């Protein structure tokens, strides 16, 4: 039993950190630098991104992002997500935590690195109305869609399963707008109402598409190539992501809130329990990225660290 638990714990750490000891090589560098960074302890961003709710939010964001045919074309035509999905996840986590916890120079460099990787991600896609459009991963409006789908996912999941947000939802949208700017988004939304208004605009204008490519992507997200020990928990996390979606997007994706077994637990409760178990496996207390940030802030003399 002890070996089973150790293997299960190691697999969870590998998925979320890329390392079985839970310490990626880039994390200690977050303790370096000579400025506080874009976000501080007590911020809405630290509250949301330091929570286990980000696990559900990440799956929800992928589902939402799949509805934009330009974003999906870039993933299908310029990504190895099927062959090596965990590497893509690890790169995304690195960027999120660097912008969240790192000094400004590190956040700027990490974002510039992602944008350089996006430069060759260009092509054309069918817009669902018989037309053809060009896309570029660094296009400001496509970057806006990815940013808003991210903000919507992380905020929605935290509202359901997380604790309070300092300053409320508007503070999170406003603070994380800086990440959008770093990725080339022009005038990102600064309040929850503004964010939802922009999100609904894509839906109401018919710019979102649910086709065979979306169905294929949803099926991959539903059943990724995870270690068998992680699949039962992931099934619940996926159910939670589906539960958190607005019904209109759930219908577009062809999803329904799944039953969790013959005598199902309510999805909301089952997801909360699963997130608690993952928290235990990863270790209670601040994660490695937050600890590194606190070391830097303490060295720089910031109170409360």
Question: At a CB cut-off of 8 Å and minimum separation 6, what does 226 contact?
Answer: 15, 234
> Which of the 8 DSSP states describes residue 8?
H
What's the predicted TM-score (pTM) here? 0.91
**What integer pLDDT is reported at residue 242 of this predicted model?**
97
- 220-223 long-range contacts, Cβ below 8 Å, gap at least 24? 220/81, 220/82, 220/85, 221/59, 221/62, 221/63, 221/66
Rounded CA-CA distance 95/182 in Å is: 11
- Residue 261: which residues within 8 A CB-CB, separation 6 or more? none
| Cα separation, 94 vs 108, whole angstroms | 13
* Predicted pLDDT of residue 137: 77
pLDDT at residue 177 in the model: 98
Ordered per-residue pLDDT tens for the chain, 305 residues: 456 667 766 777 677 666 666 578 889 999 999 999 999 999 999 999 999 999 999 999 999 999 999 888 877 775 666 666 667 778 889 999 999 999 999 999 999 999 998 888 888 777 666 667 887 878 999 999 999 999 999 999 999 999 999 999 999 999 999 999 999 999 999 999 999 999 999 999 989 999 998 999 999 999 998 888 889 999 999 999 999 999 999 999 999 988 766 656 699 999 999 999 988 887 777 888 999 999 999 999 987 66
For residue 261, count CB atoms less than 10 angstroms from its CB and return exposed for 0-12, middle for 13-18, buried for 19 or more. exposed
**Among all chains, which residue has been given the structure tokens 């303490």?**
298
Distances (CA, A) of 134 to 68, 126, 148: 13, 9, 21
Taking the C-alpha atoms of residue 97 and residue 31, their distance in angstroms, rounded to an integer, is: 12
What are the tokens at 66? 């799949």
Residue 253 burial class via C-beta count within 10 angstroms: exposed 0-12, middle 13-18, buried 19 and up: buried
- Bridge partners of 135? 123
- pLDDT given for residue 171 in this prediction: 98
d(CA 119, CA 136): 8
Q: Among positive and negative, which fits the CA dihedral 166, 172, 177, 182?
A: positive
What is the Cα–Cα distance from 273 to 269, expressed in whole angstroms?
A: 6
What pLDDT is attached to residue 272? 96
Close Cβ partners of 117 (under 8 Å, ≥ 6 residues apart): none
């Amino acid at each position: 039993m002890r070996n089973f638990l150790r293997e299960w714990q190691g697999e969870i750490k590998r998925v979320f950190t890329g390392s079985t000891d839970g310490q990626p090589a880039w994390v200690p560098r977050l303790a370096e630098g000579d400025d506080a960074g874009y976000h501080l302890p007590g911020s809405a961003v630290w509250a949301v991104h330091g929570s286990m709710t980000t696990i559900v939010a990440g799956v929800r964001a992928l589902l939402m992002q799949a509805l934009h045919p330009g974003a999906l074309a870039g993933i299908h035509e310029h990504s190895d997500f099927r062959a090596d999905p965990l590497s893509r996840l690890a790169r995304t986590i690195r960027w999120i935590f660097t912008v969240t916890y790192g000094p400004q120079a590190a956040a700027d460099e990490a974002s510039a690195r992602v944008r350089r990787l996006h430069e060759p991600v260009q092509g054309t896609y069918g817009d669902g109305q018989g037309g053809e459009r060009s896309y570029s991963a660094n296009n400001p409006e496509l970057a806006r869609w990815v940013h808003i789908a991210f903000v919507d996912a992380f905020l929605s999941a935290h509202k359901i399963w997380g604790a309070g947000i300092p300053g409320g939802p508007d503070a999170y949208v406003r603070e994380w707008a800086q990440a959008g700017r770093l990725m080339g988004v022009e005038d990102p939304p600064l309040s929850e109402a503004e964010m939802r208004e922009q999100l609904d605009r894509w839906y109401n204008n018919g710019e979102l598409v649910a086709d065979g490519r979306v169905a294929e992507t949803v099926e991959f997200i539903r059943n990724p190539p995870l270690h068998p020990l992680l699949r039962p928990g992931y099934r619940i996390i996926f159910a939670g992501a589906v539960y958190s979606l607005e019904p209109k997007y759930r219908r577009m994706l062809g999803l329904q809130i799944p039953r969790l077994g013959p005598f199902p637990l309510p999805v909301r409760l089952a997801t909360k329990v699963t997130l608690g178990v993952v928290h235990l496996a990863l270790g209670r207390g601040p994660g490695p990225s937050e600890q590194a940030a606190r070391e830097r802030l303490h060295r720089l003399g910031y109170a409360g660290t």
